[in-house]
Amino acid sequence: MALGIPFDVPMIDEKVEGIIDVEALIMTTLLLIEQDRMATDLPAWFSRFSGLVNHQKLKTMFKTMPDQHRSVILEKVNQSPFRGAPKSIRDIFSLKPASEVVSKTIQMRERKLNTIENVADASIMIRSRLEYGTGFRADIIALTHIKGFGMKGTQFAKLLCTNDSTVSRVLGDLKACRFLDQDN
C-alpha cells in the first residue's frame, strides 16, 4: 500500500529513506499517470483523504511548475477519470465534474483503499497532518523527524511552496513552545 492505494511494491521506511511529501507525490503521479488503475485510484484517494491535502500547497506547486509540465498534467486530468475527484481538488485544475458513470467507478475504487489508520502508520507527514492539521506547521513538524535535516527558513519555504514569513512565524512558535531548540 502506498498512502492507502494498493500497489505491488513495498512502502518505504520514511525514517531511513526520507519523508514522502504528499503534494509532491500527487504532482509526480499526475505527470506520469496513464490510463490504468491509477487514473481511478488517485481521484478515489482524494475522495477519501482530501482533508489531508494542503490545497494551497498543491495549487502553488501546480501554478509555479514549468508550463510544459502544467500542460501535460492538464491534458492528462482532462482525459482521465480525475474529474471524479472532489470539487476542492477539481477547482485547482479548473475541471468540470465527472459523469455519473465515472463517479460510480471512483466510488467503487474508494472501497479498495486502505484505512486512515494504516495510512497514518505508513506516513509521517499524514500522521503529522492528522495531529496538527494540513497547514505548513504540520509539515515542518513532520520534517523534524529526519535526522540531520538542518535547513534555513528560506529553504523550508521553498521546499514547502510557501513564503518566508509563514515559515518564520511557525519556526518562532515552535521555538517558543520548546518544540525546537537552538540545534534544530
pLDDT at residue 90 in the model = 94
* Cα–Cα distance for residue pair 116/48, rounded to 1 Å: 9
- How far apart, in whole angstroms, are the C-alpha atoms of residue 147 and residue 77? 37
Q: Kindly report the pTM of this predicted structure.
A: 0.82
Other residues' Cβ atoms within 10 Å of the Cβ of residue 59: 17
Domain count of the fold of the chain = 2
- The residue among 85, 29, 17 whose CA lies nearest residue 61 is 29
Residue 59 belongs to some domain of the structure: yes
Mean pLDDT, 10 residues at a time, over the chain (184 residues)?
49 63 89 81 92 94 94 89 93 93 92 87 88 90 75 85 91 89 63
Cell numbers linked to 69: 509540465
Examine the domain organization and report whether 101 and 127 are in the same domain: no
Residues 107 and 19 in one domain: yes
Taking each helix axis from N to C terminus, what angle separates 136-143 and 164-176, rounded to the nearest 10 degrees? 60
End of a domain among 93, 114, 135?
114
pLDDT of res. 36: 75
Are 85 and 160 contained in the same domain? no
Residue 95 and residue 49 share a domain: yes
Residue 181 lies in a domain: no
What is the Cα–Cα distance from 69 to 119, expressed in whole angstroms? 28
102 shares its domain with 134:
no
Q: Among the three residues 114, 136, 167, which one is the final residue of a domain in this structure? A: 114
How distant, in Å, are the alpha carbons of 107, 116, 121, 127 from that of 11? 24, 15, 11, 15
Domain boundary among 114, 140, 157: 114
- What's residue 182's pLDDT? 63
**What is the pLDDT at residue 183?**
61
The answer to whether residues 18 and 76 belong to one domain is yes
What does the alpha-carbon distance between residue 53 and residue 46 come to, in Å, rounded to a whole number? 8
Q: Domain range holding 130?
A: 117-176
pLDDT at 151: 77
Calpha distance 76→172 (Å, rounded): 41
Residues 69, 26 share a domain: yes
Q: What is the 3-state secondary structure (H, E, C) of the chain?
A: CECCECCCCCCCCHHHHCCCCHHHHHHHHHHHCCCCCHHHHHHHHHHHHHHHCCHHHHHHHHHHCCHHHHHHHHHHHHHCHHHHCCHHHHHHCCCCCCCHHHHHHHHHHHCCCCCHHHHHHHCHHHHHHHHHCCCHHHHHHHHCCCCCCCCCHHHHHHHHCCCHHHHHHHHHHHHHCCCCCCCC
Q: What is the reported pLDDT for 112?
A: 87
Specify whether 23 is located in the same domain as 110.
yes
